[in-house]
A and B are shown apart, each in its own frame.
Chain A
Amino acid sequence: MLETINLSKSFKGKKVVQDLNLYLADGESVGLLGPNGAGKSTTISMISTLIKPTSGRITMNGVNAIDKPGEIRSVSGVVPQELALYQELSAYENLKFFGSIYKLRGKELAKAIQQALEFVGLDDRKKDLVRTYSGGMKRRLNIAAALLHRPQILILDEPTVGIDPQSRNHILEAVRTLNQQDGTTILYTSHYMEEVEQLCDRLYIMDHGKVIAAGTKEELLRILSTEDKIKVEVNKLDEAFVEQVKTIEGVHKIEVTELQLKIIAAKGSSLISKLVHLTEKHHIQLLNFQTETPSLEDVFLHLTGRTLRD
């Protein structure tokens, strides 16, 4: 099991990660969720032993991995957010090089390369130079390079940034296969909520360098179990109306988009009758009214007051 205890990192006196406690049990798929700048990549860099934390501990099966980085390095594969590939080499040459620095040799290396290429669907383009690849293909190769030594833990830092839906689905499917069929432990960071929802058993939500919530998807959604999310569509909107909706007892948050209101309010706050009353008062026609089940996005909004892509 990999665990971090009160892990912190400061750059020039500014705390980027603060007292982070996190664990990864064998075979788990764990998501690290947070907006840009939340400290996810720094956390990944510390866990993968690339940078030393300012304070705190990282242990791998009880062994201090800060003093013995090899404990983690030997069993983990890291897919960095950046395309860590040689553009002037072919996919095959890239994998051969990265495989060899993992001390794979001869037939073992050739087999690992072949499996990795097939796994990410690049076998037919293996001789092409990487610079001729599309963004999605490069992302897939970026993952393949981390799989050559068959790591027990795969750490993926936003592996789907800036790619087409097809490649994105391919990557998500590949990660799911690794976790469910091969039993690879996954630590997946993203600011795409739906990816994390699809892939991960447990989630850590980070903001401003801190874990602000953790648990399974159900546990996190339970944070909003005392609330209703109501979507209202009207024919026109004015400020006075919105301000009066905010004053309705039990309303926690309102998000306004054109002629639509998303309202998060306490359960049983008799919101509907009060809304109907207000629309009549402001001569606004109520076009649609819908109660939604809260999502993780709503949980994040509830916890941070902003959306993941802010």
Chain B
Amino acid sequence: MRSFIKKDLLIFLRDWKELLTVLLLPIVLVVVLNFAFAGLFDSDDEVTMDLQLAVVNQDNESEVLGQLKERLVRDAAFEEQEAKMVAEAAEEIKPVQLLLDYLESDDVKEWVTVHHLEEKAAAEKVNEGDLDSMLIIPQGYTADSLYANITGEPPTSSLIYKIEEETTTSSALQQFIQGFIEQLNYQFAIQEVTDGTGIEAALPKGGLEDIGTAYDFNMTQYFTIALGALFALFVVATVAMKTGVEIRDHIFNRILLANSHPIRFLIGKMAAAVCLIVLQILFVLLVSHFLMGVFPDRSFVFWVGILLMVVLLAFVLSGLAAIYTAVLLRMTSVDAANGIFMLATLLFGTLGGGFFPIYMLPDWLQQIGTWTPNGLFLAILTEWIQFEDPSTIVQTSLYMIGFFFLFTFIGLALFPKRGKAQ
């Protein structure tokens, strides 16, 4: 077996054209695409926003206790004494102050500048374009929102957010404020369940962290992984195509005549594919990393995880190499077989996000793409890069192991019996 693997490795490594294609081309493309797509996507990644927000606070906190107590007695049939106690406890929450604190927190003030203005002045500045948006906290808002949370009824007043022109940043701020309100309501709900003991209203964290990731995932990382996997598909096609040369030159016949079991030939191809793919992807990832700092400040465990996932992909693709090899041995035309492999590579490459970001495809194509070997690899590495948590990649890993067995089984099933190879 070792001689089969060594032979395939030597042949591949002496093919300079092929080496340049699968090793250097992906790196060149990572660099080029990184620049080409930088303008299109980087705004989502590294936000350099400076949003000018006018806050118009029409609510008077000094009136909250009285308003809330009166309403509890009037509308919610609370006893006077009970209403007073509840209102006094609720008053401590100060949702408006929490909101203002949130807007002026370190995370948010990096991209939002708050201006406290009267409604008229704020409206004028927004209209003139001096400010981007305004947030109106209506009169009685605190009492209303606290009443709504105590009684479970829907609030009758709400924050008013006005923007002159809808932009990504102003919409994002609106979502942040909405998220804040929901978070606040959630804290109220917890207080009710726990009878209000030991719980303080906690502010949600601002910035990009609110989606819950531990690390950012950027376009350079995307292209490095996607192109590494895409060119691994080319390695698979090349390994199979070398079989075409062995058939054309009657070397395969010589191997058969040596009484060597043909399956050794197939398994040799698979093993060579595993070695070549691991070397190729690691080369692309490491060189890209050293050139562009693709994975900065990552731990040893992170890199071990990367290695394991690359090996996993290599096994899946070795199964694909088995299928290609078996198909080639069955076909009368090596050229036609090569054409089919290139088409399959382009198809997998496109669906699996190798040529452009997968989310640029329609949803149904994205769904199909996630079931390609390179699509799965992209998904699993995306998870690993963001969370570095083995539990997040277990399911995808199992899918990949399943693909390996499925592909290998198909390859073995298609592998021609004696005298059936063309």
Asked whether B251 lies within 8 Å of A84 as measured between CB atoms, the reply is yes
Task: Give residues 1-38 of B contacting A (CB, 8 Å).
Answer: 2-4, 6-7, 10-11, 14-15
Contact of B259 with A50 in the complex, beta carbons under 8 Å = no
Q: Which residues of A contact B259 (CB under 8 A)?
A: 69-70, 73-74, 102
Contact with B along A41-61 (1 / 0, CB 8 A): 000000011111000000000
Tell me which residues across on chain B come within 8 A of A93, comparing CB atoms: 7, 10
Given A82-B249, A84-B249, A101-B3, residue A145 in contact with residue B10 (CB < 8 A): no
- Chain B residues within an 8 Å CB radius of A83: 249
Q: Mark A121-146, 1 if CB is under 8 A from B, else 0.
A: 00000000100000000000000010
**B3-A88 in contact (CB<8A):** no
Interface string of B227-263 (1 = CB under 8 A from A): 0000000000000000000000111011111111000
Of B251, B256, B257, which contacts A86 at CB under 8 A? B251
B419 touches A84 (CB 8 A): no
Identity of the chain A residue whose Cβ is nearest the Cβ of B248 in the assembled complex: A82
Contacting pair A101 B255 (CB below 8 A): yes
Pick the contact of A49: B4, B15, B251, B257 (CB < 8 A): B257
Q: Which of A52, A78, A101 counts the most B-chain CB atoms under 10 A from its CB?
A: A101
A86, B11: Cβ atoms under 8 Å?
yes
On chain B, the residues within 8 Å of A74 by CB distance are 259
Main secondary structure, interface of B, reads helix
| A85 beta carbon closer than 8 Å to chain B | yes
| Nearest-Cβ distance from residue A103 to partner chain B, whole angstroms | 8
A82 adjacent to B10 (CB under 8 Å): no
Partner of A84 from B6, B250, B260 at Cβ < 8 Å:
B250
- A192: CB under 8 A from chain B? no
B11 close to A89 (CB less than 8 A): yes
Considering the complex, give the chain B residue whose CB is closest to the CB of A50: B253
Q: Once the chains bind, are B11 and A73 in contact (CB under 8 Å)?
A: no
Which residues of chain A from 81 to 100 have any CB-CB distance to chain B below 8 Å in the complex?
Answer: 82-89, 93, 96-98, 100
Nearest CB on B from A45, distance (A): 8
Kindly list chain B residues whose C-beta atoms are within 8 Å of the C-beta of A78.
254, 257
Task: Give Cα A149–Cα B253 distance, bound, in whole angstroms.
Answer: 16
Could you say which of A51, A85, A89, A100 contacts B419, with CB atoms under 8 Å apart? A51
**A interface, how many residues as a size bin?**
20 to 34
Q: Is A85 touching B10 in the complex (CB atoms < 8 A)?
A: no
Given the complex, which residues of A lie within 8 Å of B260, measured CB to CB? 101-102
Nearest to A76 among chain B residues (CB) is B257
- The docked-state distance in angstroms from the alpha carbon of A97 to that of B255 is 10
Which residues, 316 to 372 on B, are CB-close (under 8 Å) to A?
Answer: none
SS class, residues of chain A in contact with chain B: loop
Residues of B near A98 (CB, < 8 A) are: 254, 258
Residues of B within 8 A of A87 (CB): 249
Give how many B residues have a beta carbon under 8 Å from the other chain's beta carbons.
22
| Chain B residues whose C-beta falls within 8 Å of the C-beta of A294 in the assembled complex | none
Q: Are the CB atoms of A88 and B11 closer together than 8 Å?
A: yes
Q: Return chain B residues, CB-CB under 8 Å to A101.
A: 3-4, 255, 258, 260
**A80 lies within 8 A of chain B by Cβ:** yes
Q: Are A84 and B7 in contact (CB under 8 A)?
A: no
Residue of B nearest to A80 (CB): B250
B79 nearest CB across to chain A (Å)? 94
Interface pair A73/B253, CB less than 8 Å apart: no
Residue of A nearest to B252 (CB): A84
The CA-CA distance from A286 to B256 in the complex, in Å, is: 61
A89 neighbours in B (Cβ, 8 Å): 7, 10-11, 14
Residues in A with CB closer than 8 Å to B258 are 73, 98, 101-102, 149
B250 close to A82 (CB less than 8 A): yes
Bound-state CA distance A83–B256 (Å) is 16
- A250 to nearest B CB, angstroms? 49
CB contact under 8 A between A48 and B257, given known A86-B11, A88-B14: yes
Distance in Å: Cβ of A203 to nearest Cβ of chain B:
25
CB atoms of B3 and A50 under 8 A apart? no
A70, A84, A88: which contacts B254 (Cβ < 8 A)? A84
- Residues of chain A contacted by B256 (CB below 8 angstroms): 50
Contacts of B4 in A (CB 8 A): 101
A88 in contact with B249 given A78-B257, A145-B254 (CB within 8 Å): no
**A73 partner residues in chain B, CB cutoff 8 A:** 257-259
- Mark each residue of chain B from 255 to 282: 1 if its CB lies under 8 Å from any CB of chain A, else 0: 1111110000000000000000000000
Q: Is the CB of B250 within 8 A of A86?
A: no
Please give, as numbers and ranges, the residues of chain A lying within 8 Å of B14 by CB-CB distance.
88-89, 129
In the bound complex, residues from chain A placing their C-beta under 8 Å from that of B251 are 84-86
> Residues of A contacting B11 with CB < 8 Å?
86, 88-89
With A74-B259, A88-B14, A88-B15 given, is the CB distance from A80 to B253 under 8 Å? yes
**What 1/0 mask marks residues of chain B from 411 to 422 whose CB sits below 8 Å from any chain A CB?**
000000011000
CB distance from B330 to the nearest CB of A (A): 15
Let me know if B7 and A97 touch, CB within 8 A: yes
Give chain B nearest CB distance to A272 CB in angstroms. Answer: 53
- Closest B residue to A99 using CB positions: B3
Report the minimum CB–CB distance from B321 to chain A (whole Å).
Answer: 18
With both beta carbons as reference points, the residue of chain A lying nearest to B265 in the complex is identified as A101
B252 CB to closest chain A CB (Å) equals 9
Which residues of A in the span 213-257 have a Cβ within 8 Å of any Cβ on B?
none
Is A86 within 8 A of B419, CB to CB? no
Least Cβ–Cβ distance between A86 and chain B, in angstroms: 6
A84 to B257, CA, bound (A): 12
Cross-interface CB contact of A50 among B2, B6, B249, B257, cutoff 8 Å:
B257
* Contact residues in B for A96 (Cβ distance below 8 Å): 3
Bound Cα distance A98, B246 (Å) = 13
Chain A nearest CB, measured from B1 CB (Å): 10
Candidates B15, B254, B419; contact of A52 at CB < 8 Å: B419
Question: Closest CB of chain B to A75's CB: distance in Å?
Answer: 10
Given A51, A88, A102, which contacts B10 in the complex, CB threshold below 8 Å?
A: A88
Q: Which residues of A contact B6 (CB under 8 A)?
A: 97
Binding site for A on B (CB under 8 A): 2-4, 6-7, 10-11, 14-15, 249-251, 253-260, 418-419
* A–B complex contacts, Cβ < 8 Å, 10 sampled: A50-B257, A51-B419, A73-B257, A84-B249, A89-B7, A97-B3, A101-B255, A102-B258, A129-B14, A149-B258
